[in-house]
Chains A and B, each alone.
Chain A
Amino acid sequence: MTVPAEVFPVLGDGGPSAVQQSRDDYRRRRNRRSTGVASLSTAVVLVVAVAGVALSPGWPRTRALFLDWGLAKDSLPSILSGLWLNVQVLLVSAVLIVVVGLLLAGLRTLRGPVWFPVRALAAAYTDFFRGMPLIILLYLVGFGVPGLQLQGVPTSEVVLGTLALVLTYSAYVSEVFRAGIESVHPSQRAAARSLGLTYGQTMRRVVLPQAVRRVLPPLLNDLVALQKDVGLISVLGAVDAVRSAQIASDAAFNYTPYLVAGLLFVALAVPTIRVADWFSLRAVRRQQASGAL
């Protein structure tokens, strides 16, 4: 069968064929329409939301209580210095969480009946600390541990708050690592062991590097969650951003400092979220190099 020349002219000869031109035209028209509909609906929703809030009967009072510009400026320095404490706790706990999480994941993936007690203990740890609400754990660790009055045991609310965060988050992170380890195909272990590598060498050089690459996006997601949960150490009395906001708020009978602290946490999280998105996108691109869907 010959293709009519007017439908499918010789390729590479003066631009796209008639078929391709009509397809391109159709796609352009459809894209313009979609963009128009999306912009319009976004604008409508925004107008309705803003109008709904601004026209509500309690708006003047709410604005005075939550959006006091002068108070926001006055409380900012103390909240910022509190936030520095949050950042320090975040950095220390993030490192400890990765170390403990990796260790737990390693223990849970040990093979053979000899390791059953170790596997069971590690499993019990992850079950317990994933199930325990963080705020309750903070109370238990923060008030229970100093209550024992043991010598040499830290009583600083910052240290104990960090400990509680590490206990909870390492349980989550270890499951992420474990999923990564188990996603590496067994043939990779077989190849490494065949070369004479020991179990430990195989894990460190062959399995973990592949596993960590795969679970980086979910790990960064957990980091985003941790970034705001560091604010919970304020319940122990640590003077962090949340606690500073509370102090300023109580002094002025006004909620604006909380909003300031909240926005600062958001600003802190945005870079991490962007990096996490970028890693996820890269992982998707690598797996699906092409395709229309």
Chain B
Amino acid sequence: MTPVLACEGVVKRFGTHTVLRSVDLVVGEHEVVTLIGASGSGKSSLLRCINLLETVDDGVIRLDGEDITDPRIDADGVRRRIGVVFQAYNLFPHMSVLDNVTLAPRLVGKLSKADAVERAMALLSRVGLADKAGEFPDRLSGGQQQRVAIVRALAGEPRLLLLDEVTSALDPELVGEVLGLIRELKEQGMTIVMATHEMSFARQAADRVVFLDAGVVCEEGPPSQVLGEPTEPRTRQFLARVLESGRL
């Protein structure tokens, strides 16, 4: 079966600085893969390359077998098939929650207003935010904003969901509600690639953990193996530092 996502030898440079040296990563349908690694290891850059927010400098990225790094590809069409949630939510501050969620389905998915609203309200109720549909983002807590951002990404019915440190900007007591929602999405069979510092979540919810170090995949495997009995010295070092900071 064709994997949903396949990265082959992906290289990304910013000026003279090489962020991704040669990344290989395969994500199958319904799989939840967490990317771990220190700040600057290339997690966010990889996600931005997959979503075509950055152009790769070498290598190939395939979505459902199709080479999306081909410059002739319809980039807007590819982005439509991929949902992204950012660390800082990036909700549109001048639109209500409902408009944030319905904007893309109406403009891009060509849904009628009534259909888009119906779908948005169904999704918002699922995450317990139906009563906030008329509010503007700055009236919501961080956890609520991030759940709206996830709903906004889901409203386009993406093939693949990219989550870029979605809990890093949240107060500790709000992290749980967002992680709970992601766990629910996993149970519904969503294919997810998630950059995270939440090791305990990676351990419980991920099918596979990928440790990125200095722009390459240093080690990957089931969470129990990568987080429990890492074989690479760099992985051990990283996990020891995380343990020190009390995140594990």
Hey, which bits of chain A sit against chain B, CB under 8 A? 187-188, 190-198, 201, 205-206, 209-210, 213
What are 30 of the A-B contact pairs (CB < 8 Å)?
A: A187-B90, A188-B92, A190-B53, A191-B84, A191-B86, A191-B90, A191-B91, A193-B53, A193-B79, A194-B51, A194-B53, A194-B79, A195-B80, A195-B108, A195-B152, A195-B153, A195-B156, A196-B77, A196-B79, A196-B104, A196-B156, A197-B103, A197-B104, A197-B107, A197-B108, A198-B76, A201-B108, A210-B92, A210-B93, A213-B94
Contacts across chains A and B counted by CB atoms under 8 Å: 55
B68 at the A interface (CB under 8 A): no
Interface centre among B83, B103, B156 (most CB of A within 10 A): B103
A195 contacts across to B, CB distance below 8 A = 79-80, 103-104, 108, 152-153, 156
Minimum distance in angstroms from A285 CB to a CB of chain B = 14
A196 contacts across to B, CB distance below 8 A = 76-77, 79-80, 104, 108, 156
Partner of B88 from the list A187, A192, A197 (CB cut-off 8 Å) is A187
Look across to chain B and name the residue whose beta carbon is closest to the beta carbon of A209: B94
Partner of B94 from the list A190, A193, A197, A210 (CB cut-off 8 Å) is A210
B84 contacts across to A, CB distance below 8 A = 191, 194
User: In the complex, are the beta carbons of B90 and A190 less than 8 A apart?
Assistant: yes
Given A209-B94, A210-B93, A213-B94, also A194-B82 (CB < 8 A): yes
Minimum distance in angstroms from B68 CB to a CB of chain A = 13
A210 contacts across to B, CB distance below 8 A = 92-94
Cα distance, A197 to B86, chains bound together (Å): 17
Hey, which bits of chain B sit against chain A, CB under 8 A? 51, 53, 76-77, 79-80, 82-84, 86, 88, 90-94, 103-104, 107-108, 152-153, 156
B94 contacts across to A, CB distance below 8 A = 209-210, 213
User: In the complex, are the beta carbons of B86 and A190 less than 8 A apart?
Assistant: yes
A198 contacts across to B, CB distance below 8 A = 76
A192 contacts across to B, CB distance below 8 A = 92
Cα distance, A191 to B51, chains bound together (Å): 11
Look across to chain A and name the residue whose beta carbon is closest to the beta carbon of B107: A201
Known: A188-B92, A195-B103, A197-B76. 13 other contacts (CB 8 A): A190-B53, A191-B86, A191-B92, A192-B92, A193-B79, A194-B53, A195-B156, A197-B108, A201-B107, A201-B108, A205-B103, A210-B94, A213-B94
A209 contacts across to B, CB distance below 8 A = 94
Cα distance, A188 to B94, chains bound together (Å): 11
Cα distance, A213 to B156, chains bound together (Å): 28
Minimum distance in angstroms from B101 CB to a CB of chain A = 10
Cα distance, A150 to B127, chains bound together (Å): 67
B107 contacts across to A, CB distance below 8 A = 197, 201, 205
Minimum distance in angstroms from A136 CB to a CB of chain B = 41
B153 contacts across to A, CB distance below 8 A = 194-195
Look across to chain A and name the residue whose beta carbon is closest to the beta carbon of B88: A187
Minimum distance in angstroms from B140 CB to a CB of chain A = 16
Minimum distance in angstroms from B220 CB to a CB of chain A = 25
Minimum distance in angstroms from B152 CB to a CB of chain A = 7
